[in-house]
Amino acid sequence: MNQYETTAPADTGDSDQPVVEKAKDQVQEVAQRAQNVAGDAQIKVRDQVDQRSTQVGEQVASSATALRAGADELVRQGNQSAADAANRAAAQAERLGAYLQDADANRILADAEDVARKNPWAVVVGGVVVGAAAARFLKASSSRRYESTAGIGPTYGAGT
């Protein structure tokens, strides 16, 4: 036997078996708990999406009403082409608001996946735009936080 070989214990009796079974049971129990937690989190997220989409749908529908009122005012002022554009925008807003109010989280997710499959470049461009906006926001808030903690006020014009 060389220096890298090891010998197995001579007795592999039942003394180790209860320890192995306990370990397997504990692993299974932890895995089951993790699945339960993940399931609960998924349910909570879906509930939040349902609630938020309904709220946003109501806000969009109320914006559609305001657009219709603006279109009526444009007609009174004699600007029919702008009124037509406002009416078309109001109709689209009403459709979006109704969709958001009626759709549940599963439907919204499925529809978003369909759009992403049909228009992958739109998703990429949207991601870039959202990322750039988030970076600008974080940069602006970071400098404000630094100025407030350092006791430095904004310097808009250096004295000459």
Contact 86, 74 (CB under 8 A): yes
Q: Write down the pLDDT at residue 87.
A: 93
Q: What's the N-to-C CA distance of the chain in angstroms?
A: 86
Q: Write down the pLDDT at residue 89.
A: 93
Contact 113, 101 (CB under 8 A): no
Q: Write down the pLDDT at residue 27.
A: 85
The rounded distance, in Å, linking the Cα atoms of 139 and 9 is: 62
Rounded-to-5 percentages of helix, strand, coil across the chain = 80, 0, 20
- The angle formed by the CA atoms of residues 110, 113 and 39, to the nearest 5 degrees, is 55
Q: Which amino acid is at 132?
A: A
Q: Which two tokens stand for residue 128?
A: 């870039």
Per-residue pLDDT tens listing for the chain (160 residues): 555 555 555 555 555 678 888 888 888 888 888 888 888 888 888 888 889 999 999 999 999 999 999 999 999 999 999 999 999 999 999 999 999 999 888 898 899 899 899 999 988 999 999 999 999 988 888 777 767 676 655 555 555 4
Q: How far from 126 is each of 20, 89, 117, CA to CA, in Å?
A: 51, 21, 14
What is the pTM assigned to this prediction?
0.55
Q: How far from 19 is each of 8, 24, 61, CA to CA, in Å?
A: 18, 9, 63
